[in-house]
Structure 1
Amino acid sequence: MRVRKFGHACLLVEEADTQILVDPGAFSPGWEELRGLAGVLITHQHFDHVDLQRLPALLEANPDATLYLDAGSAPQVSGHGFNVVVVTDGDKFDINSVPVEVIGRDHAVIHPDIPQVPNVGYLIGERLFHPGDALTVPDKEIEVLALPAAAPWAKVSELVDFQRKVAPRLSIPIHEAIYARPEFAYGFLDNLKPETTTVKVIDGGEPFDF
């Protein structure tokens, strides 16, 4: 499996010659140039996870790609004529030969006065789990975790504990764009990780194979 990060929460996952893009949001540059995508996965409706200005052009340039998203995001993309599938917790499907499982239902609570929206995480290729904006712990072993590093809905201690509960072999920090110095959060996640976990920062945009 090969992973490339386009900044913040956006990952390009390549498995078995299949390209899957996750959370192409407004804080993530460069993904609009991608071609040959088989699937685009959206965890939830917030603009830093789905950029509605650039997404239509991406899908037009990738006509074979199916857009998978949560129920809260679906109304925002309706009427464009794209291949759209609404998913919920427990759903399983294949993108070409790559299995994808949907895990999670709700966005983490930001504040009681802010309405909670749907949020689904995706387990891709039975290996990489992208939780979106939630701290959902899957009921199975996770090899690679896309680990939120900073968020208005989480303290550093909660993110450290999330990594410990999931206990992946490899953590890739995501969701760092709200920090001026994300290495501050990365240090906590690395220093307080489980003994069996490696934290790998791939913010430079280079493809990473594992």
Structure 2
Amino acid sequence: MHLTHFGHACVLIDTGAARLLFDPGTFSSGFESLDGLDAILITHQHADHVDAERLTALLRANPDAALVSDGQTAGRLDGIDARVAAPGDRLTLGGADVAVVGSGDHAVIHRDIPLVANNGYLVDGHLLHPGDAYVPPGLDDLATLLLPTGAPWLKVAEAVDYLRAVAPRTVVPIHEQTLATPAMHYRFFDQLRPEGTTLLVPDRETAVDV
């Protein structure tokens, strides 16, 4: 499986049987020229996870790609048809099996800010993109966790505790564009990671094996 990080929450996963792009949002770049996609998956409606303008162009360049999102996000994408999914659903996208996981809710930013829907996506039982929520997938052996690193809703202690709860073989930090110095958080992850977990910080727009 190959992974390419386009900054923040946007990640391309190539399983060899499917090319899946997650969360092409406003804080990410470099994904605009991608083609041959089997699916584009949106975890939730926030702009840093879905840029409707660039999404429209991306879908034009990938006419056979399925667009998958939660129901709230689908309702906000004017003129764009999306396949609605929720936790508990299983999808076949290209040659990949994708389970929709999580509680269905975004993490709490503040009690006065309404919650929005959030989907986590588990690819072939091996790689998890949790969106903006720390809900363990309930697996004994996860190969790769994409770990949200910085956001208004989290602190580094919560990120480390989630990393330890999931205990993947490889952790790849994402959702870092809200931070002035993401490397400081990466250092905490490396120091406090569970035994058996390897930290991998790919160069932007460079494919790596996971």
Alpha-carbon shift at residue 61 of structure 1 (Å)? 0.9
Partner of 2:132: 133
**Match of 1:187, as an amino acid?**
R
Establish whether residue 36 from structure 1 lines up as the match of residue 33 from structure 2: no
Q: Quick one: distance in 2 between partners of 1:113 and 1:143?
A: 36
Alpha-carbon contact 1:7-1:203 (below 8 Å) kept: no
Is the partner of 2:71 in helix, strand or coil?
coil
Alpha-carbon contact 1:13-1:21 (below 8 Å) kept: yes
Is the partner of 1:74 in helix, strand or coil?
helix
Partner of 1:144: 144
Q: Quick one: distance in 1 between partners of 2:6 and 2:112?
A: 32
Q: After the TM superposition, which segments of 4 or more aligned residues of structure 1 sit over 2 Å from their partners?
A: none
Alpha-carbon shift at residue 93 of structure 1 (Å)? 1.1
- Can you give the 5+ residue segments of structure 2 that lack an aligned partner in the other structure? none
Alpha-carbon shift at residue 155 of structure 1 (Å)? 1.1
Partner of 1:158: 158
* Residues 28-107 of structure 1 aligned to structure 2 (within 5 Å): 28-80=28-80, 82=81, 84-104=82-102, 105-107=104-106
Q: Quick one: distance in 1 between partners of 2:92 and 2:196?
A: 30
- CA deviations 1:130-170 (Å, max 9, x no partner) are 00100010111321000011111011100000000000000
Is the partner of 2:72 in helix, strand or coil?
coil
Partner of 2:15: 15
**Match of 2:96, as an amino acid?**
V
Aligned positions, number: 208
RMSD: 1.0
**Match of 1:25, as an amino acid?**
G
Alpha-carbon contact 2:6-2:205 (below 8 Å) kept: yes
Alpha-carbon contact 1:149-1:185 (below 8 Å) kept: yes
Partner of 1:171: 171
When the two structures are superposed, what TM-score results if normalisation uses the length of structure 1?
0.96
Alpha-carbon shift at residue 53 of structure 1 (Å)? 1.6
Alpha-carbon contact 1:6-1:203 (below 8 Å) kept: no
Q: Quick one: distance in 1 between partners of 2:180 and 2:165?
A: 27
Q: Quick one: distance in 1 between partners of 2:24 and 2:124?
A: 19
Alpha-carbon shift at residue 78 of structure 1 (Å)? 4.1
Q: Quick one: distance in 2 between partners of 1:204 and 1:85?
A: 29
Q: Quick one: distance in 2 between partners of 1:12 and 1:207?
A: 9
- Aligned identity (percent) is 49
Q: Quick one: distance in 2 between partners of 1:67 and 1:78?
A: 13
Alpha-carbon shift at residue 193 of structure 1 (Å)? 0.2
**Match of 1:125, as an amino acid?**
D
**Match of 2:46, as an amino acid?**
H
Alpha-carbon shift at residue 30 of structure 1 (Å)? 1.1
Q: Quick one: distance in 1 between partners of 2:14 and 2:29?
A: 18
Is the partner of 1:73 in helix, strand or coil?
helix
- Can you give the 5+ residue segments of structure 1 that lack an aligned partner in the other structure? none
Partner of 2:2: 2
Q: Quick one: distance in 1 between partners of 2:123 and 2:108?
A: 25
When the two structures are superposed, what TM-score results if normalisation uses the length of structure 2?
0.96
Alpha-carbon contact 1:35-1:61 (below 8 Å) kept: yes
